[in-house]
Amino acid sequence: MTDVANAVLDGTDCVMLSGETANGDFPSDAVATMAAICVNAEEMVHVHKRYDFIRNQTPKPMMGAEALCSGAVQSSIDCDAKAIMCITASGRAPALVSKFRPQCPVLVVTPDEQLVRHCRSVYGQTGIFKENIEGDMMQIVEEAASYARSLGIADLQPGDQVVVIKRRNMRRGSQVPYDDQRLIVKALVLGQARPHSPGHTAYAGKSIIYHRSTKIGLDTILEDHKFKYAVRKTKIICTAGPACWSEEMLGKLLDAGMNVLRLNFSHGDHEGHYAVLERFRKVCKEKKLHAAALLDTKGPEIRTAMLRDHKNISLEAGQSIIVEAVGAKYTSFEGYKDDTETRIGLSYEKLCQSVHVGNKILLADGSLSIRVDEILSGTELRGTVLNSKSLGERKNCNLPGVKVDIPVLTEKDIDDLQNFAAKHQLDFVAASFVQSKADVLFIRRVLDEAGGKQVKIISKIENAEGLHNFDEILEVTDGIMVARGDLGMEIPVEKVPLAQKVMITKANISGKFIITATQMMESMITNPIPTRAELTDVANAVFDGTDCVMLSGESANGSYPDVAVSTMANICRSAEIGVNLYQTFDYIRSFTPKPISAIEAIVCSIAKNAVDLRPGMIIVFSEHGKTARLLAKYRPCAPVLLVTSNVKLARSCATLFAMYPFLLDAPINSVDEIEGHVEKALNYSVEAGLCMAGKEVIVFTSTSVAAAACAAGDEGKAMLQREVLITLAPGQLDHNALGALAPHTSAQDPRMITKTITLRSTVINLDMLTDDNPPVRKTKLAVTIGPASSTPEILERLVDSGMDIARFKFSHGTPQSHAEVLGTLKEICKRKGRSVATLMDLQGPEVRTSYLIDKQSGVRIDSIELKAGDKVSLYGTDNLSPDSFVGYRDFDGSVRLGVDLPDLADVARAGNVIRLRDGAIGINVTEVSAGRAVVGVVINNGIMGERKVLHISGVTLHASPSSTYQDMQTIQDFAMQHGIDFVAASQVGGRHDVEDLRRFLDDIGAENVKIIAKIETREGLRHMDDIIEAADGIMIARGNLGMAIPPEKVALAQCKVLTKAKVAGKPVIVARHMLESMNTNPRPTRAEMTDVANAVLDSADCVMLCSETASGMFPVDSVVTASRICRNAEHAMNYAMIHSFIRDFSAKPFNTVEAAAVAMAKTCMDAQLAVAVVISDSGEAANVITKYRPSVPLVVVTSKPTVQAQCNLCFGQRGLLVEVEAIQGETEPLIKRAVDWARQSGLFTGSQRAAIMHGTDTADTEKSAILNIIDV
């Protein structure tokens, strides 16, 4: 019995009886018994996993016939179809169907008697003889169903789902290949469909598991021509404002990639907004585009009341304050501060019923915080001011974690919805501060009453209550907006990146579109290039699964609205190219509850076929939008052309991933018209540049789009039929131009094996988003020391705030000034018992500008303000003396800058663009005087500091050899004298650069100094494998890297380098523009927060702050903020998945220590330990453990100060310095000492358990390892 069952479980098509029936006494019993065993064994099979295994192991790309048949099986599994019918004469289709092991019978209707007999030995097949299979298909289906019922094979009843595969009738002269294209798949319902169908699909519950993966090759980053046929699928929403509401600029935004225009009703009136809407619709009509319009409500708000004499009051940290709920009287109530008390009013009349003791009241965009200490009455409470700040009138108020009892729509909002959105038939309304399902239903009722039934609702999630009720909101809303601005005021701001992932994941699984909004490219309000954090924020939103990204002030008030849109479009397109299509599809399908509706099953199979076939286009027909919405859910890898006569549906494509509309002049009346419209759609797709000529196209049609067929179906006279086929786009396929769309010959194809697969996985619980108890931080913080952070007071505060590495940048400052600061830092660390590592960042072969002076006084200055139109002359020199190598603003208003490149005038040409400050400032070269100055005009306003890196577009610059000599001299004089732990080498292009530096360090006795190789050039990317192998660590220097490669590719490069270094076990620092806005603001932008969080989730060991701490106004706040973001991101890390990923991709076999390290990291997770301890004098064993990302802090016991300091770079490590005798002595006392130190250091509290690793013969884990778990 087990033999038969195992044969079935192994996948046999047929089992055979020999003597049992030929000579046995019980032939009929033998057959019956075997049949019963087979039936029971088949019920044990996990149908989904078996299907996935066979499909995933099938070589790609599939032929069209196999893709269609495997998709038919997938659809039958997902929608629980009762049968698959193959109407065929050849037998190829049923053979392909049976290969993928459908869960239902395969009814093979054929005129071939031999094929009927053959079916008896193939899995699932039952042959049905039919002499004429070219007749009425529905009659054939009914006859086959009747025959199946009569044999007891399938009890097919009216309303059951059936999948039909048959030959496609081709037009005469068609050039479509037979094997690939002659099959079609039809999904239909026997008789009339049942009224019940699977309801709202949801990923319900408080916790979500989130997986996202990329697959990135060097060609993805460096060879953009391979992706010229890649069409952007993520949509862009632009906020209207003075900068863009002219017809000319609206046209430019549409040309640049805008899909939706957002009208922000927090500002303006109906008349003004209508004028913009009219201009927008006029431009769309002229350009024959179907862009959508969105009304964003002002929403409910809480504001502070007036103040006595309308004068601001100064509030001091620690002082008591009375807050009074004055309701609508806030415009007349006057707050005050006198000798007896301080009293302010708030417009929220239910304040004292909503808040509790311990809650916080945030005022003026969170810049002022008040803790609630006592509820005095129904209208008054007493609180304590938590920070000093001046407070003005009518400032906004947020109540984090409080359910605010205010209607979702104010009277103004209702008027806006009914007398603007409904009246003018806008496509979407975005409702602010949606907190419940009831809120959405109320908005729907308000719109419907005014004739706005077709206006779709976007729910903006902006507070904790909206997060708590997210599942019920998602069920009834049309879309979601992650409104990161207010959300960051209502929950701890560092939790916003996690909340974003929760909402996007849940929306993806539900098939509802989602918008990521607020501060995505904030710096582009004033700069033509975004910061690196903004670039990666947009890219990561795409990786996360967003449908749309939104611009606010960038397009409404910015200086470069069209540039912002085109930049965002480029980032989205580049990020989409890097997405791991297989993983994305598999994740969404796996986490979607089954069974699903027939329509969803079909579009799901289409999306999977697209992954395996890589077609140029998918064409779908729809009049109501459900097909488009569900197909977008599965993130198709090809653009989707939605054919419809519904103009509202055409515009609604503007928020759906990958959807592009093709509007018909009139509705389709007859099914016979569909084929003609398919041909029109194919021609349009090629003409519009959406599809490559001659490339495969998947087509999905349905009889439901034909008015006559719908009427017949409603009367019960016709079956609903859906059809999938594969055809070719018109024109000749240019094989040389396929690029990334070219098929791979095998899994070993070089184009496949040169790809780097990355994995980002999180487990996020709703409580994480509102609670404030993240674990001990394990990601390290490197802090650049400069004028803003060099005083003893600031240095001490930085140490207290968690600085792990002090970075000294030798392109700025002098060795003497660095030595003074370093001496002060060491004294502070010694006094506090803290270890802070030191990193010496060399200038390297970079080209930089001069020092700056005031021309009149000759005094050194920090910066010069450049304005668009300023004339600038740049002179090249090799005299770098601070006295002569200077720049200044001249008396005539022009600017003169020095450049440490003697042959500058020989390499620059008129028409070049010179980029300064990581591209933030541009200069158009207008004139070059041979051997003298390069003259140009400033493109945009910006602040120019000293010694900034200079790039010239299209020119490779080679710095003076003197810079390399200077670096060597500095290392010899400074690193040795001051005991530097790390040296960061700039512009590393290959292994030889690292090895040369290593030899130099060894020769001068600095063998303990570790080398950090900076990846910041194209050469560095090309040779990253060799560099990672040779270096001790890697720095992703995003500033220069974003100038060496297209800036929109930086996020892809970061993912690739992080993953390669992670698997190699080398620590990685992510640097530049992490919290750039904190140079001048006490809080980072939402883009910067998510950038830091995603770097942590991608397994960066360290994030580095540059100008934020070197010259910014808030150096300590920057470190505190970065620390909190890191801690919260680590809290959400799926350590089990990350451990598994690294282990799977690591070379085998492991040595003894690495095998033990793998086990130790896994044990920390599985046993939920509190801390880990390793005795590793050299630090090598500790580094191997860290590679596998233990979920707890790792105490590294060593007798070497350099190893202790270098622990400050590696994820989770904490170095404990002990005596040499202790390492050589007894193991147990050393372990106890380490555990006690860990407790005293706050790494854990209470009675817990710990993982311990030490050597066998000695305490040191060098060549062998023992792993224990102890109670501590």
Summarize pLDDT for 739-754 with one digit per residue, the tens: 767 765 444 455 445 7
The pLDDT value recorded for residue 365 is: 83
Of 631, 749, 743, 575, the closest CA to residue 215 belongs to 575
The pLDDT value recorded for residue 704 is: 82
The pLDDT value recorded for residue 1241 is: 94
Decide: 1185 and 1160 in contact? Cβ < 8 Å: yes
3-state secondary structure of 889: strand
Pull the structure tokens for residue 1239. 């407790």
Q: Which residues of 904-938 are buried (b: 16+ CB within 10 A; e: fewer)?
A: bbebbeeebebbbbbbbbbbebeebeeeebbbbeb
Pairing of strands 161-167, 1010-1015: unpaired
The pLDDT value recorded for residue 843 is: 79
End-to-end CA distance of the chain: 53
Question: CA–CA distance from 195 to each of 160, 598, 650, 717 (Å)?
Answer: 12, 13, 28, 17
Residue 195's pLDDT band (cuts 50, 70, 90): low
Place of tokens 């500008």: 849
How far is residue 43 CA from its own chain's centroid? 40
pLDDT more than 70, % of the chain: 95
Q: Give 955's DSSP letter.
A: B
Give 299's contacts (C-beta < 8 A, 6+ positions apart): 266, 408, 409, 410, 413, 431, 432, 433, 460
Higher pLDDT, 783 or 748: 783
| Residue 324 burial (10 A CB sphere; 0-12, 13-18, 19+) | buried
Q: CA-based Rg of the chain, rounded to a whole angstrom?
A: 33
The pLDDT value recorded for residue 715 is: 43
Q: What would the pLDDT profile of 981-996 be if each residue is shown by its tens digit?
A: 999 999 999 999 999 9
What average pLDDT does range 316-339 have in this prediction? 94
The whole-angstrom separation of Cα 261 and Cα 277 is 9
Q: Is the pLDDT of residue 179 over 60?
A: no
Cβ of 834: how many Cβ atoms within 10 Å? 16
Active-site annotation holder among 303, 437, 626, 896: 303
Please state the φ and ψ torsions of residue 1174, each to the nearest 5 degrees: -130, 135
Residue 250's pLDDT band (cuts 50, 70, 90): very high
The pLDDT value recorded for residue 137 is: 87
Strand partners, 872: 895, 936
The pLDDT value recorded for residue 177 is: 44
The whole-angstrom separation of Cα 448 and Cα 270 is 20
Active-site annotation holder among 477, 518, 784, 1090: 518
Q: Is the pLDDT of residue 958 over 80?
A: no
The pLDDT value recorded for residue 746 is: 47
Q: Give 420's DSSP letter.
A: I
Decide: 180 and 726 in contact? Cβ < 8 Å: yes
Q: What would the pLDDT profile of 875-907 be if each residue is shown by its tens digit?
A: 999 888 888 999 999 999 999 999 988 889 888
Of 599, 533, 606, 602, the closest CA to residue 571 belongs to 533
The pLDDT value recorded for residue 298 is: 93
Of 1193, 1129, 1133, the closest CA to residue 1161 belongs to 1193
pTM confidence score: 0.90
Active-site annotation holder among 460, 1049, 1083, 1189: 460
Active-site annotation holder among 60, 262, 760, 778: 262
Q: What strands, in cross-sheet order, belong to the sheet with 851-852?
A: 851-852, 886-889, 895-899, 871-876, 933-938, 921-928, 913-916, 950-952
Segment among 199-203, 592-596, 899-903, 942-946 with least mean pLDDT: 199-203
The pLDDT value recorded for residue 401 is: 85
Return the beta strands (E) in 275-359 as ranges: 292-296, 302-303, 306-307, 313-315, 320-325, 334-337, 342-346
Of 853, 851, 891, 889, the closest CA to residue 873 belongs to 889
Decide: 440 and 407 in contact? Cβ < 8 Å: no
Cβ of 207: how many Cβ atoms within 10 Å? 12
3-state secondary structure of 486: helix
778 is catalytic: no
Count of CA atoms in the C-beta half-sphere (13 A) of 706: 21
Give 692's contacts (C-beta < 8 A, 6+ positions apart): 229, 616, 686, 729, 733, 734, 737, 738, 741
The pLDDT value recorded for residue 750 is: 52
The pLDDT value recorded for residue 716 is: 45
Q: Given its phi and psi angles, is residue 844 left (phi above 0), alpha (psi -120 to 50 degrees) or beta?
A: left
Residue 193's pLDDT band (cuts 50, 70, 90): low
Q: What would the pLDDT profile of 216-243 be if each residue is shown by its tens digit?
A: 988 889 888 888 889 999 999 999 999 9
The pLDDT value recorded for residue 523 is: 93
What average pLDDT does range 725-752 have in this prediction? 72
What average pLDDT does range 1240-1253 have in this prediction? 94
Residue 181's pLDDT band (cuts 50, 70, 90): very low
Q: What would the pLDDT profile of 514-542 be if each residue is shown by its tens digit?
A: 999 999 999 999 989 999 999 999 999 99
722 is catalytic: no
Q: What would the pLDDT profile of 1191-1224 be if each residue is shown by its tens digit?
A: 999 999 999 999 999 999 999 999 999 999 999 9
The pLDDT value recorded for residue 194 is: 64
Residue 180's pLDDT band (cuts 50, 70, 90): very low
What average pLDDT does range 850-874 have in this prediction? 94
The pLDDT value recorded for residue 879 is: 87
Give 278's contacts (C-beta < 8 A, 6+ positions apart): none
Report the amino acid identity of residue 766. Answer: L
The whole-angstrom separation of Cα 262 and Cα 268 is 13
Decide: 163 and 84 in contact? Cβ < 8 Å: yes
Domains assigned to the chain: 2-45 (no CATH), 49-76+88-193 (3.40.1380.20), 229-298+408-577 (3.20.20.60), 302-398 (2.40.33.10), 774-844+960-1128 (3.20.20.60), 851-952 (2.40.33.10), 1147-1271 (3.40.1380.20)
pLDDT more than 90, % of the chain: 76
Q: Is the pLDDT of residue 275 over 60?
A: yes
Decide: 550 and 568 in contact? Cβ < 8 Å: no
1060 is catalytic: no
1189 is catalytic: no
Q: What would the pLDDT profile of 421-446 be if each residue is shown by its tens digit?
A: 999 999 999 999 999 999 999 999 99
Question: CA–CA distance from 258 to each of 253, 480, 518, 714, 1023 (Å)?
Answer: 5, 19, 16, 40, 38
The whole-angstrom separation of Cα 1253 and Cα 1172 is 8
The whole-angstrom separation of Cα 312 and Cα 306 is 10
The whole-angstrom separation of Cα 1133 and Cα 209 is 10
Report the amino acid identity of residue 1177. Answer: D
Residue 963's pLDDT band (cuts 50, 70, 90): low
Count of CA atoms in the C-beta half-sphere (13 A) of 981: 23
Of 659, 263, 244, the closest CA to residue 458 belongs to 263
Cβ of 737: how many Cβ atoms within 10 Å? 14
The pLDDT value recorded for residue 798 is: 98
Pairing of strands 320-325, 380-385: antiparallel
* Average of per-residue pLDDT values in the chain: 91
Q: Is the pLDDT of residue 848 over 80?
A: yes
The whole-angstrom separation of Cα 900 and Cα 848 is 6
Decide: 1217 and 1196 in contact? Cβ < 8 Å: no
